Structure formats: C-alpha cells, structure tokens
Amino acid sequence: MAPLTIETPHVAAEVLEQRNSLLDKFEKGSSQQPQVLRDADAAAYRKMRAEGTNGFVPPRFLPEAENITIRTRDEQEMKLRIVRPTSGKSHGCFLHFHAGSLVFGSAAGQDFYLARLANDLGLTAVSVDYRLAPEYPFPKSQEDSVDAALFALSSAGIEKLGGPLRLLVGESAGAYLAVRVALSLRDHHNVPVAHKLAGLICSYGTYDLSYTPSLLSHTRNIIVNRENLQLCTEAAFPKLSTMDRRDAKYSPLYADLRNMPPALFLCGTEDPFIDDNVFMASKWSLVGNHAELKLIPGAGHAFTLIPAGEVQNAGLSEIVKFAKALLLL
C-alpha cells in the first residue's frame, strides 16, 4: 500500500462565502438552460452549446490552435486538437479527454484552459475528439481515446506532437476515459504505463457507473444534476442494467488497479462525484500506486473549466503543482 495524500485546503470564511454565492449563480443559470436528453436530443443540445443559444455561452477558440487527423482502428478519421506552449519549448505532450458525460463536448471546447496548462507545464496539449453517445455508445469513446494514446506513443506521434507522451488529463467523463485508457494500454497493448507515463490528472471524474451515494443524494443543479448525469450514462451504456455497469470493463472502480502511474484526483466538495473520487483515490493507493486526493471547498462540477476566477485558479494551481512535481522526477 502506498501513502495516500488527502487534502482539503483551508479557505477563509469570506472566500467560502464568495464561492457559495458563485454556486448559487451557476445554479440559477443552469435551471434556465435546456437539459440534454430530456428537453433536447443530443445533436440539438450540442448545436445549442456550440452556437451559444438557449442560455449557453459559445466556446472561444485560439487562432493558433491546430487540428490534425488520425485513423482509428475502424478506419475512421478522428480529430486531435493541438495547443502548443507559447512561452517556451515543448518537452513532450499531454493527452486530454474533454468533459461532457460521453454525450456532448468536443476537443475544441477548451482552448484557453489547455493553453494555460501547456504554458505552465511546457507540454503540448493534445485534445481527443472521441465519438459520442448515443450515436456511438461505449466502447467507441474508449477505443478512440486508446487509439489517440497509441498514436501519441508511436514514433510518428512523437515526431508530430513534438515529444513523448507524459500525462493523461481529463475532466468529468474525460477523467473516466483517462483511467480507462491507462487500463487498456496496460491490459491490451502491453504498455508498461507505470513507467511509460509520468502520471494521470483526473478532475471530478466518475468511476462507478452504478452510481455512488454522493450522486444519488445530490439535489442541486449546478452545471449538472443527478437526472441528466443518469440520462447520459444510460445513453452511453445502453441495454446495461445498473448492476451490469459494475463490471470492471465499464466501471474502473472495480478494475485491477495495480501498476498504474501516479494520479491526482481533484474534486470540489459540492460535486455529485465526490464519492467517486474519494473511493478511487483510496483504491489507487491501496494497491501500491501513488495517489493524491484534493477536495476544494465550495467548488462545484467543472470548476476548473469555467471562467470562475479565484476558485478556478485554486483548482488549476493544484493541477500544475502535481504535474510539475511528476515531470521533474
């Protein structure tokens, strides 16, 4: 068993009050937006988000970001979004898996977030435009993500992306995919991930698709709510019962987690997936892997992705601190 670092950073009462006010603001905004798979089908919902209609804010794009395409195992073209550091030389790359409950989101949805990490870490950000449910149910998202990792590990990928693959990074469903990719590389592609990768950075991920107590008891609608998370899970894993989804090939909390790289599990205390992260960090450590669990007081879901000032910076600082320590090893 490896030591598990658990930290809930102290914040002043006035800062916590500000964070709670921000959560109230986000909840008011979320209540005025259509809900995916309840009020709109997946395609219509993605269109609203991309165009900034119905209360959504459209994504902002960096003009210097690049798109390249690779071939998937079923001979489809898949886009990778490349954001290179501008403040110095790149010393490799990190593979990024975007949020969106495996139903929405895209590789081009978080350019500024990726640029900050790219510059702070001196790595090229490579975001994966994996296929989405319900049109492409699981395991397509995992297969596409693994194919992107195999490309990044190849000599052609190292040349194209400016250096070796160092980190797997993801938020929400993307954190789930980061873990699934590491497991698949180890189990199906003979990649010694504990030595090949510096680490994983997993922000507010879901790891038990049969639902943890914190999700089942979650009553707020801050960016996400219990109903839409469950609707998306059922769309991504159709024809599977809740108990079926406890199988290790779906829920990584039930997988053999031995010989995994160091991992950061970052989550807000107001996030419906807080139990997933507490449980996953504990199991990661119990089998001998290095794990750090950082719980940010007064932070809700997606807090590192949303321009939210102080609380966003608090989360990004934890990511950068953890990653820099790994990259120096």
Evaluate whether 176 touches 233 at the Cβ level (below 8 Å): no
Distance from the Cα of residue 251 to its chain's centroid: 15
Contact 72, 150 (CB under 8 A): no
d(CA 326, CA 265): 14
Angle (CA) 113 116 121, round 5°: 125
Number of residues written out for the chain: 329
Q: CA–CA separation, 239 vs 234, rounded Å?
A: 8
Contact 168, 94 (CB under 8 A): yes
Are 45 and 91 in contact by the 8 Å Cβ rule? The answer is no
Q: State which residues form the domain around 128.
A: 4-327
**H or E, element range at 42:** helix 42-51
- Number of Cβ within a 10 Å radius of residue 302: 22
Domain count, the chain: 1
SS3 327: helix
Beta strands at 66-71 and 77-83: parallel, antiparallel or unpaired: antiparallel
**Helix or strand holding residue 93 (H, E):** strand 93-97
CATH number at residue 126: 3.40.50.1820
Q: What is the pLDDT of residue 32?
A: 93
CA dihedral 96, 102, 104, 109 (to 10 degrees): -10
| Cβ-contact 61, 52 below 8 angstroms | no
Tokens for 30? 């979320």
**What pLDDT tens digit does each residue of the chain (329 aa) get?**
677 889 999 999 999 999 999 999 999 999 999 999 999 999 999 999 999 999 999 999 999 999 999 999 999 999 999 999 998 889 999 999 999 999 999 999 999 999 999 999 999 999 999 999 999 999 999 999 999 999 999 999 999 998 999 999 999 999 999 999 999 999 999 999 999 999 999 999 999 999 999 999 999 999 999 999 999 999 999 999 999 999 999 999 999 999 999 999 999 999 999 999 999 999 999 999 999 999 999 999 999 999 888 999 999 999 999 999 999 86
- Which pLDDT tens digit goes with each residue over 299-320? 999 999 998 889 999 999 999 9
Does the bond joining 238 to the residue before it have cis omega, within 30 degrees of 0? no
**Please, are residues 232 and 103 in contact by the beta-carbon 8 Å criterion?**
yes
By the 8 A CB rule, do 266 and 202 touch?
Answer: yes
